[in-house]
Structure 1
């Protein structure tokens, strides 16, 4: 998942004029559903052969 203040931090970055902000999560699974609601684009990177 993401930290408790991620939403507020993203709002501050947006207000400061940043065009691109990267949000890294701790892993995969149910906890990632929160970050999908916070971002414009969600990108999932997997290692080849990892299943």
Structure 2
């Protein structure tokens, strides 16, 4: 299943969520916080799957 890591204020991820819903593509929504350390975007697992390391 597709996993979407998203910051709730991101307009780019908002458009992706709309497209996924319209096309009825199942996905798992993962909320990330840009303000607190210890969230997924700071873990090695998350950095491994992102384009920017």
One fold, TM greater than 0.5? no
Is the strand fraction higher in 1 or 2?
2
Structure number with bigger Rg: 1
Q: State TM-score, norm by structure 1.
A: 0.35
Is the helix fraction higher in 1 or 2?
2
